[in-house]
Amino acid sequence: MADHPVDEKLPALKMATTGLQHVAAMYAGVVAPPLIVGAAIGLTGSELTFLTGACLFTAGLATFLQTLGIWKIGARLPFVNGVTFAGVAPMTAIVASTDDKDDALPVIFGAVIVAGLLGFLAAPFFSKAVRFFPPVVTGTVITLIGVSLLPVAFGWAQGASPAADDFGSATNLGLAGATLLMVLLLRRFTSGFVKQIAVLLGLVGGTLLALPFGVTDFSPVAEADLVGFPTPFHFGAPQFQLAAIVSLCVVMVVSMTESTADMLALGEIVDRPADERTIAAGLRADTLGSAISPLFNGFMCSAFAQNIGLVAMTRIRSRYVVATGGGFLVLMGLCPMAASLIAVVPRPVLGGAGVVLFGSVAASGIQTLVRAGLEKDNNVLIVAVSLAVGIIPITAPEFYHSFPETARIVLDSGISTGCVAAVALNLVFNHLGNGSREAADVTHPMEAGEEITGAAKAPATP
């Protein structure tokens, strides 16, 4: 009996190139949190490079846990794990509240360790929520994941920093558009292996195209060391402060909610639906990876939604491909010069490729919704309201500005709020009380029906 595509081992060259493609898709997401937190602390350039390399190294370890798995740990799906962006705001808040900035990272690391261990213990209970994720919920959440990621791609397309003079310039947008066009042309007019690595080829082509415009920066390669290792507790032994622990435990709950939605989404895409057991194992990998990460100076880890788009687009479902990507991440953590090669790719080029990747996630969600029974009024309401709630943080970022900072950790995540709304509405409309009965079909505007006035129709002419 042939292996499921998820368990397929591809030829070495194909494994390496497609694995590298996954790394290219998520690299910016991994390095952004340490750069932001490190800048808030005031780390030197060498310390910032060290922290970034440590996060790449721990992302690789967490990816191994998730894809290859040990015991009851790991979803064994093609999941890339890395630093969750949900923790950036509370971590910078911890930095701001720490008088001695030298203590900031040890306090963060201590909180991440505790949150990771508590999450590991809670994983089997948290996974039972899978029964509350029918297609009408999962389709909504998958769509929200894609829609929530698209602004990231649009931001990349404009440039590296909003403070830069060329942010949003015609050059940057042109490079993003050219990269997008390359990917589309490769997907349309090539086949086989070349078609499957269209995103990677688009990134290479876009980077080369950017050379004459001076957007490609090779200085990270020149300044990087050839060999380096994230020495355990390089920034000091972890410290355990209650306020920081509570703050990052909230982040862990948000992260576990998003990871559950991501696993359900990926399970649909690779035709291996994620059941309760798979989700529990996946959450154990997330949380254990997070608990181990501070040992090597890394932050909280979570599944990366943007790589789901790559799986959906390429249809390469092998978890060993992603494990190979995890190997590249580990090597980058051990070889700063190798890590800097990915950093050479200009942000606008990443943005052009991101449009395809993240849009593919949203399209996968729509495909799931097609099977969710949208001919029923109840399901239409669930999707409509949940999408609206999930899009609030995207379209109105300051909508929850008057809420406490702790609450905003959850509310500012459109994926989390949309997921909670979809689950709650599904319970109310499809399970509680009269909602469990067959819902009425949607009445289409052009369908024949009673007149709005309610007046009796004229009798038919004999």
The pLDDT of residue 400: 87
Amino acid sitting at position 293:
S
Q: Two tokens at 369?
A: 């919704």
240 vs 447, more confident: 240
- Residues 21-30: tens digit of each pLDDT: 888 777 766 7
C-alpha–C-alpha distance, residues 317 and 266, integer Å: 9
375 in helix, strand or coil?
Answer: coil
460 vs 246, more confident: 246
193 neighbors 14 (Cβ within 8 angstroms): yes
Amino acid sitting at position 420:
V
C-alpha–C-alpha distance, residues 104 and 102, integer Å: 6
Average pLDDT over residues 177-186: 93
- Residues 90-124: tens digit of each pLDDT: 787 788 778 788 888 999 999 999 999 999 999 99
- pLDDT category, 460, cuts 50, 70, 90? very low
The pLDDT of residue 389: 92
C-alpha–C-alpha distance, residues 190 and 325, integer Å: 24
C-alpha–C-alpha distance, residues 349 and 415, integer Å: 26
Bridge partners, 83 (sequence order):
301
C-alpha–C-alpha distance, residues 283 and 256, integer Å: 7
Bridge partners, 70 (sequence order):
73
Bridge partners, 301 (sequence order):
83
- pLDDT category, 284, cuts 50, 70, 90? very high
DSSP string, 310-327: HHHHH----HHHHHHHHH
Q: Where are the alpha helices (DSSP H) in 315-371?
A: 319-334, 336-343, 347-370
Residue 458 is classified by DSSP as P
450 vs 138, more confident: 138
| Range name among 80-94, 145-159, 175-189 with the lowest pLDDT average | 80-94
Average pLDDT over residues 431-448: 49
Amino acid sitting at position 141:
V
Give the CA dihedral 369, 370, 372, 377, nearest 10 degrees: 90
C-alpha–C-alpha distance, residues 171 and 168, integer Å: 8
Bridge partners, 73 (sequence order):
70
C-alpha–C-alpha distance, residues 341 and 229, integer Å: 18
- pLDDT category, 457, cuts 50, 70, 90? very low
- Judge whether residue 234 has pLDDT over 60: yes
Give the CA dihedral 108, 111, 113, 115, nearest 10 degrees: -130
**Closest CA relative to residue 53, chosen from 356, 343, 391, 335:** 335
- Judge whether residue 340 has pLDDT over 80: no
- Judge whether residue 452 has pLDDT over 50: no
- Residues 129-159: tens digit of each pLDDT: 767 778 888 788 778 877 877 887 898 899 8
C-alpha–C-alpha distance, residues 93 and 406, integer Å: 11
- Judge whether residue 462 has pLDDT over 50: no
* % pLDDT > 70, the chain: 87
Residue 130 is classified by DSSP as G
Taking the whole predicted model, whether its pTM rises above 0.85 is answered as: no
398 contact partners, CB below 8 Å, separation of at least 6? none
Residue 99 is classified by DSSP as S
Average pLDDT over residues 353-364: 79
The mean pLDDT of the chain is: 81
